[in-house]
Every structure is written in structure tokens, then in C-alpha cells.
Amino acid sequence: MDKYDVIGLLGEGSFGRVYKAKQHSDGNFVALKVISKRGRSAKELKGLRKECEIQRYLHHPNIIQMLDSFETENEIVVITEFAQRELNYILGKEGYLSEERVQAIVWDLISALYYLHSHRVLHRDLKPQNILLDGNSVAKLCDFGFARNMSTGTHVLTSIKGTPLYMAPELIEEQPYDHNADLWSLGCIIYELLVGAPPFCTSSILNLIRLIRHEQIKWPTWISENCISFLKGLLQKNPEKRLTWPEILNHPFVKGHVLITEDTPTMPLTRTLSENTLQRKEQQRNELKSGSKKPESNNSRTSQNSRTSTIKLVEEEEETASTEKKKSVEMQAKARCDIKLDFHEDSQPIESEEWVVFLQKTIEEIMNKEVGCLLQSGSTNILVNPLRNVNASPRVLGFVANLFALPLIVDIDVEQLEQIKKVYLEVKLVPNLVYATKLLTTRFSSSSRSSSLSTRKSPEDLTYEDLHALEQIFLLICHLVYLDNQFLVQFSDSLAVLNVSTLFQQFLSLVKRKVKIVTDLISILTQVLRKSPENHEVVSRVVMDLDFVSLLRNNDALLRERTCYLLLFLGKSCMKIVKGFWTISCRETLEALMYDSIENVRNAAELAVEELKDCDFYKSSDNTEKE
């Protein structure tokens, strides 16, 4: 940093801060991007270094040049050339630009994109915020945080990257994609420069998905025929119908104005594909769709894991395990195999405030009974994504849970509700909610932020926002497991698959801080025992150390009532577990509740006593008292 004089802050975001600075050596202005290492995993840091590595070797007048980079103990610092203005700022100030100004910017962007694709680099996050203009109004691409260098032999990708407003339909559909996705994003930017808004613009993510999928683009009437033709070529919803690079270079809107540098190779992404290459590309696309091939596979295991962090499903038991335990493990393994609970954990930065705005608008739509987008798994799955993002704030998680709960309480059409239930099952909403509780209550160290979980937060460490999000999540799970037995099965399986018994024990200790979490969790566990007693083992692991006497004596009437029912079904399904904690005090407290001031509690206690009084553990406590 001794080589630079920092002049002032240019901007900041989830990545870090950008400063304007002056070089001592020549007095030229530069931009310093300072990224904190704190709170980032080894995987995230590797991704940041990869971004630097990609940008270091990019040398084109329309791409922000990286000049240097270095690391301190706590920061990564990237030095790039300085550009005066952000295109997004100009748009915000002027609203839209003339076709003449837009055309000059398009020439620059096409030049930059052709250079990237010639080097097999996909940008994957083209938007006005990532386009800068220098003092001569030359446009330059920046921010290669989502960029991907496609290895030879890789023809399509699968990981969802980008900003929803500029995201290609194939990404929205979660289909394999290639460099054509960048061309769609470029078309959206050009459209916005001319009109003042992207072709599909709404504050609701669900509505945006619907528009991108199904709505026709409204073409402006005040721009030239060549410009319209170029835009229509880029904004084809079918990527196979978009303009190819040879067609782009020869299109009259840009022909003769694309800057191709001497070091620009002619690679398959920018030339007409041979018949053999087309066949290999289609084969790879079909393999990825069917799941018969690992997505985005490179030679290294690290690159395979860069997109997903698949949860280990079954831990091997010791050879000395009892026959009963072996059978249980085999049953759980079979269930896990059946439901295929693969969690694609995401460690990319998430703009929490933007998500909250989107979610709030979508909630308003659902309150008005506009639930169309929840009827499709693709759009619903995008809203599930924050539940497995390690960077999602508790506030976002709470809003996501609230949104998914609304169709269950808003008076909507019965057929629509049935379809929404099917979609929730298809996207495995309940297992993802359980997974969110695991991420939410995990303390991540700076060296393990994504796939390797660090230490568990104690109940005392949970913040108010943590507790509020947990409350919303468990309320939704409670609604779902009582709504349909398939949700119940998914919940039981996810408890086993995700190995969260100890975590859920902690949740049951939150009585003094958030009693609603405890009452809902007890209700969920009771429903498991009631409807699928064969899954009693996963419940018994959660409740084995529970202080039932304290729960039965709690001031909260609903908690007392639900604890009675939990005891009742525990006694029916797993007497050995009950026998382990049953005492005279437990029996006396339960019987005392038969005279509780609250009718529901009295009824629950009477039913529990009636069902349990003939059990051996209950009789044994009676005999002990007589002795």
C-alpha cells in the first residue's frame, strides 16, 4: 500500500470496498479493491484468487486491466486501472440514452465479450453495474467474480450465476447453458440503455421468472431497424436461435466496429461449430439434464466441488454394532437413497436487502391470492436457494419461511393448494428448511465458511434475529407435516440424513428464550410418532435428555399440552426410551395436570394417563412409591 495514496471511497458491497488512489511512481489514478478475509472460507478465498488469476491475463482496451494484487494477513488487495463513471450511475441520472450513444457502448461491449469468449471465459454477471466508462467514454467490463474459464471439452455449465433481471431463460429453467447466456444478458443491457428499464422489470422475483419464461418482449418503436434486428437476435428465449458470433460480427449494427486484438484466438465459442463438436455438446447437455454425469467437471476434485457441497448421507457403523442398530441404519440408508437428499450449498455473497425487497413484494402478491409462480417447481426452487446459502441473513430466511407459509393460511383455490403442495414436495422444502436451521446455528470460522461447518452456536449465542428466523421455520414445518404425510416422511429422513439430533436437542432447551420454537418442535416430533411410529428412533435421539418434568410444569399452557401428547406417543412407540427418564416426579406431575386450569391441558393429561397407566414403566413407578 506504500506505493499508493488513497484519495477516497468509490463504493462498497458484499465483496469489500473500492478506493480511488494515486500511484506514487507516475501519478496515475488507480482503483484499489480491498476484500476482507475475515468470515470467508478457504473455498471463498480460493474463488477470489481465481478471479484475480482470470483477470490478470485479460488484456483488452474494453476490459478493466488488472495491474497488481497482493495479500496482507487480513485482506486481499486488487489494483486495477481507474475508470471515471459507472454505467448504472449514468442510467440513473439520465433515464435512457440515445441510440447513437448506445451504439458506441455496444461496440465496446461486443469487443470485450468477443475477446472473453475467444479465450473460453464466460462473464456470467453482465449488468450495468459491471460496466465502467473512462474519461473518453470508452466502456469497459469489470467484476469477474462469477467468471468461469471453460476447460477444453466442457461445452455447457449448470451452476446458476448472475443477477435475476439479466438472467437468461435457460438459467431460470435451471438447464445447462453456454456462452449464449452472456449474449442474452448483453441484450438486456442494450434494451435498458435504450428504454430505461430491462425487457422484463418487476420487484417480485416470482413475477420476474414468469415474465422471462412466458412474456413476449415489447420492442421500442423509436429505434432503427438495424438496432431492433440486433436486439431481437440477442434476446431469443431459445439459446439455439440467438445470434452466433459470426452473425454478430457481420451484423450491420456493429460490423466494422468490433475491436479484435492480435492476441485474440479463434476458439470454438466464437466460430461456427463443427458437426462433431455440436454432437459432443448436445451429448453433454443431455447427460447433465439426466444427471448421468457430474456437472461442470474438470480434472480436479476441487473444481467438481466448486458448485456444490453434497451432504454426506450415511456414516459407516462400527463392526461391533448390535443387530438392531444395523437394521436401523439399513432402513435409514434405504430412505436416504429413495429421497436423494442432495443439498447444493451456496457460499456466494447474497444481497440481503435486495432479497428482502423481492420477498416483501412477492408476499404482497400472495396475500392478494396471486400464487401462480408457486405452482411451478423451477420458480419455487429459486426461492428455496437462500435456505442453503451460508451467507443468507436470518432476516432473509425468516421472510422465505413466511412466504412459503402464506398459501397454507390464505384462502386460495383448493386445486391451487394441492398443486403448491406437490411443488413443495418436489423441491424438498422441508429438508431445505431443516438444513437452513443447521446453517443458521453454525459459527463459521474464517477458514471454513462453506462446505466444512465449524463450531455450533450455543443457545445463548443465538441472536434475536436467529431466534425469530427459527420460529418462522419451525412454524412452517409444523404446518406442513400436519398437512400431508409425505412432508412428515421428508422431515424424518432429513433428521437422519443431516445428523441434526444434537442440534434439535439444543432447540428444545430454548424454553426461556423462545418457547414457540419448543412447542412447535414438540408438535412436529409428536406427529412423527403418531403417523410414522417406525421412525421413533430419530425422535428418541432428540428427546432422550429432555427434562419432561420442567416442560410439564412450564407456565405456557400450549407447551404443557403438547408435552403430554409427546409423552403419550413416546410411551406407545418407544417404551425403552421413556423407561430411561421416567420417575415418580414425572408421573405425579402428569397426573396433576388432569386438574389444570386449562381445559385442553386437562384433556391431554387425562388421555396420556389413560394410555400409559398400563405400561410397565408407569406401573413400576407406582410400585416404587408403595415400597
Phi, psi of 366 (to 5 degrees): -65, -35
Confirm if 351 and 397 have CB atoms less than 8 A apart: no
Report how far residue 10's alpha carbon sits from residue 144's, in angstroms, rounded to the nearest whole number: 18
- The three cell numbers of residue 579 are 423407561
Report how far residue 95's alpha carbon sits from residue 220's, in angstroms, rounded to the nearest whole number: 15
Which amino acid is it at 293? K
Per-residue burial over 310-338, b = 16 or more CB atoms within 10 Å of its CB, e = otherwise: ebebeeeeeeeeeeeeeebbeebeebbee
Q: Is 22 annotated as a binding residue?
A: no
99 to 193, 222, 428, 523: CA distances (angstroms): 9, 9, 47, 62
Q: Is 125 a catalytic residue?
A: yes
Annotated catalytic residue, options 125, 182, 466, 493: 125
**How many CB atoms are located within 10 Å of the residue 429 CB?**
25
Confirm if 591 and 579 have CB atoms less than 8 A apart: no
Report how far residue 192's alpha carbon sits from residue 106's, in angstroms, rounded to the nearest whole number: 12
Report how far residue 127's alpha carbon sits from residue 142's, in angstroms, rounded to the nearest whole number: 10
Confirm if 131 and 86 have CB atoms less than 8 A apart: yes
Confirm if 592 and 609 have CB atoms less than 8 A apart: no
C-alpha neighbours within 13 Å on the C-beta side of residue 148: 27
Helices (H), 484-594: 485-498, 501-507, 515-531, 536-543, 548-552, 557-573, 575-581, 584-592
Contacts 24+ apart (CB under 8 A), 265-269: 265/118, 265/119, 266/118, 267/117, 267/118, 267/119, 267/120, 269/117, 269/118, 269/120, 269/150, 269/178, 269/179, 269/245
Which amino acid is it at 15? F
- One DSSP character per residue, 132-162 reads EE-TT--EEE---TT-EEPPTT---B----S
CA angle 483, 487, 490 (to 5 degrees): 165
> Active-site positions?
125
Binding residues for ATP: 33
Residues making up the binding site:
33
